[in-house]
C-alpha cells in the first residue's frame, strides 16, 4: 500500500468504522460507549453529521473529552435501513426549518436525514465545491453577507477531502478549474439524454462529483463493455454540466489526468 494510503487510514482510524468480520455494525460499541457525569468538564460538538463526527474523531484522538449532541435516534443499519426509497421515509428530517433575521424565510421540510449521522444518513454522495464567488456575494452582488473565509483558504482542504473520501468526477472547468482523484462513473439513461441534448445545443455539461470510489482509469473506458444499465452508483442523480463520446450505446466521458493525492 502506498505511504499516502497508510496516512489516510491512520488519520481516519476509528472503532466506529465498518467491522471487517461481515457485520455492518458492532452493537457492543453503543453499550460500551463512554459516559460522563453531569459534573464532568467535556468538549461539546453540536451535530454528528459529516463535519461534526469528523471533528469529534480528530479531537478524541488528540486527547479531548468529547461529547456530541444530535437530534434524533442512534440508527441501527441492520434494522432501520432498507434499500428502498419508500421504506426510508422515517430517516428524513421533516420538521419545519426557518432562516431567522429581519425577513425570516420558512424552508419547510426536506429529506436530508436526521439522527446520528446527520444528513449523511440520507446522502446521495454528491460533493461539489463552492464556487469562488459564493464567498463574496455581498461584495459582488449586494446580497447576503461575505463569508469570513475565501475559496483559497478552503481549497487545500477540498483537495484533501476529495482524496480521502475519495471523489470521482469529470474535470470541472468553472470557477477554479480542477480535476478529481478518480474519473467519472458512467451515467444512466437520463444522464445520457441530458448530455446529448446539452452537447447538441452547444452547452457545456459535466458529470457531477460523487464520493463513490471508481478505480477505473481515465482512458481504460475505451476498452471495456457497456455496463449493465440496471447497475448504477447511488449518487448518479444529478448532472450539472460536458461533451461526451458515444461508444457502443454508452457515453464515456473524456477525463483530464486526475487530481494528485
Grid coordinates given for 169: 468526477
Grid coordinates given for 71: 437530534
Q: List helix spans (H) across the chain.
A: 3-12, 28-31, 50-61, 77-80, 137-141, 151-164, 189-200
Query: Going by C-beta distance under 8 Å and a sequence separation of 6 or more, which residues neighbour residue 189?
Result: 229
Residue for grid cell 473524456: 254
Angle at 149 between CA 144 and CA 154, to 5 degrees: 125
pLDDT value at residue 172: 94
Q: Are 94 and 71 in contact (CB under 8 A)?
A: no
pLDDT value at residue 229: 33
Using a cut of 0.75, tell me whether the model's pTM lies above it: no
pLDDT value at residue 44: 93
Q: In which residue ranges of the chain is pLDDT below 70?
A: 1-4, 109-111, 216-261
Query: Going by C-beta distance under 8 Å and a sequence separation of 6 or more, which residues neighbour residue 68?
Result: 44, 45, 46, 47, 48, 52, 53, 56
Please write the tens of the pLDDT for every residue from 234-253: 333 333 333 333 333 333 34
pLDDT value at residue 260: 59
Amino acid at each position: 500500500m502506498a505511504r499516502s494510503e497508510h496516512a489516510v487510514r491512520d488519520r481516519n482510524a476509528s472503532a466506529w468504522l465498518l467491522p471487517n468480520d461481515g457485520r455492518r455494525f458492532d452493537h457492543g460499541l453503543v453499550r460500551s460507549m463512554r459516559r460522563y457525569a453531569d459534573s464532568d468538564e467535556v468538549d461539546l460538538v453540536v451535530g454528528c453529521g459529516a463535519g461534526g463526527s469528523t471533528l469529534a474523531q480528530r479531537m478524541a484522538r488528540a486527547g479531548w473529552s468529547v461529547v456530541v449532541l444530535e437530534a434524533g435516534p442512534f440508527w441501527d443499519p441492520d434494522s432501520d435501513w432498507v434499500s428502498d426509497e419508500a421504506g426510508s421515509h422515517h430517516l428524513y428530517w421533516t420538521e419545519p426549518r426557518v432562516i431567522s433575521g429581519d425577513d425570516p424565510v420558512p424552508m419547510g421540510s426536506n429529506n436530508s436525514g436526521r439522527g446520528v449521522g446527520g444528513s449523511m444518513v440520507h446522502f446521495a454522495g454528491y460533493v461539489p465545491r463552492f464556487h469562488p464567488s459564493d464567498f463574496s456575494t455581498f461584495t459582488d452582488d449586494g446580497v447576503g453577507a461575505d463569508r469570513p473565509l475565501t475559496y483559497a483558504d478552503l481549497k487545500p482542504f477540498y483537495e484533501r477531502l476529495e482524496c480521502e473520501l475519495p471523489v470521482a468526477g469529470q474535470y470541472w472547468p468553472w470557477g477554479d478549474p480542477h480535476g478529481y482523484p478518480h474519473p467519472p462513473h458512467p451515467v444512466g439513461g437520463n444522464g445520457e439524454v441530458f448530455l446529448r441534448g446539452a452537447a447538441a445545443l452547444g452547452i457545456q455539461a459535466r458529470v457531477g462529483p460523487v464520493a463513490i470510489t471508481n478505480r477505473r482509469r481515465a482512458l481504460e473506458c475505451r476498452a471495456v463493455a457497456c455496463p449493465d444499465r440496471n447497475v448504477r452508483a447511488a449518487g448518479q442523480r444529478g448532472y450539472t454540466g460536458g461533451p461526451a463520446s458515444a461508444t457502443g450505446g454508452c457515453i464515456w466521458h473524456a477525463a483530464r489526468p486526475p487530481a494528485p493525492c
